[in-house]
Amino acid sequence: MIAKLLADKRFYHVLTRIDSDLAAAAQQAGCARCPGVLHCAYYPRKPRGAPAGLSVEDKRRASFCCAACRKRATPPSVRFLGRRVYLGIVVVLATAMQQGPAPWRASQLREVLGVSLQTLARWRVWWKEVFVESAFWKAAKAAFSPPVDVTGSPRSLLERFGDVTGSPRSLLERFGGDEFEQLVALLGFVSPLSTPSGYIPDQRP
């Protein structure tokens, strides 16, 4: 099922549309430094983990520049998690599939996702040590009741977004709460980490 999802171009089109909405909202909000107008430009990315044949639109990211003060601004994204070369969906799924009652072996994940063992190990460290200590999570965790077991992130977060009674209501209303949209909801939740102000760098072993 995971391989089928990652190979489905329609899923990436959905993520691209969400990113377009996030970019439009950021542009409408204007410059954070002055009343200037934000001009938009698109920059190509070469994301790993994406199926072959994605459109140019699915592989580019919006960026803004203020016409007055020239300050640059990057809107949140559900596709690109910070500066990582792998798509956010791969970072989430690869780590989550190593957790739970029937964890995938690293060799299986490498075969399905094409991710090296060293990269998988680095992502596990990032979720367990870096993410949980970030300013983003320390502020966002208050929205969850009961609290999320962060030792099992991202799987515990992914499961929570499938539980209408335990997830932040505003996010569920925006992204949906059924099984297919569970992953999209989590990607939307962590999208602030994809901006320069919220980006959490890797901790390499």
Name which of 119, 125, 140, 135 is nearest 189 in CA terms: 140
Please, which residues have CB within 8 angstroms of residue 28's CB and are 6 or more apart in sequence? none
Position 202 in a domain: no
* Per-residue pLDDT at 201 exceeds 70: no
Express each pLDDT in 35-79 by its tens digit: 999 999 999 998 888 888 889 999 999 999 999 999 999 999 999
Structure tokens at 119: 């990269």
Position 199 in a domain: no
Position 19 in a domain: yes
Distance, CA of 149 to CA of 86 (rounded, Å): 25
Position 104 in a domain: yes
DSSP structure string for 89-119: HHHHHHHHTTSSSSPPPHHHHHHHH---HHH
Number of domains observed in the structure of the chain: 1
Distance, CA of 145 to CA of 2 (rounded, Å): 29
Position 200 in a domain: no
Average pLDDT over residues 183-205: 76
Domain span at 133: 2-194
Distance, CA of 145 to CA of 17 (rounded, Å): 30
Give the model's confidence band at 198: pLDDT under 50 very low, under 70 low, under 90 confident, else very high. low
* Per-residue pLDDT at 172 exceeds 90: no
Position 164 in a domain: yes
Distance, CA of 158 to CA of 32 (rounded, Å): 32
Residue 185: burial class (beta carbons within 10 Å; 0-12, 13-18, 19+) = buried
Query: What was the pLDDT predicted at 199?
Result: 61
DSSP structure string for 46-70: --BTPPTT--TGGGEEEEEEETTT-
Structure tokens at 159: 């499961």
Distance, C-alpha 149 to centroid of its chain: 19
Give the model's confidence band at 202: pLDDT under 50 very low, under 70 low, under 90 confident, else very high. low
Express each pLDDT in 113-149 by its tens digit: 888 889 999 999 999 988 988 889 999 998 888 899 9
Express each pLDDT in 72-116 by its tens digit: 999 999 999 888 889 998 899 889 888 877 788 888 888 878 888
Give the model's confidence band at 167: pLDDT under 50 very low, under 70 low, under 90 confident, else very high. very low
* Per-residue pLDDT at 174 exceeds 50: no
Position 187 in a domain: yes
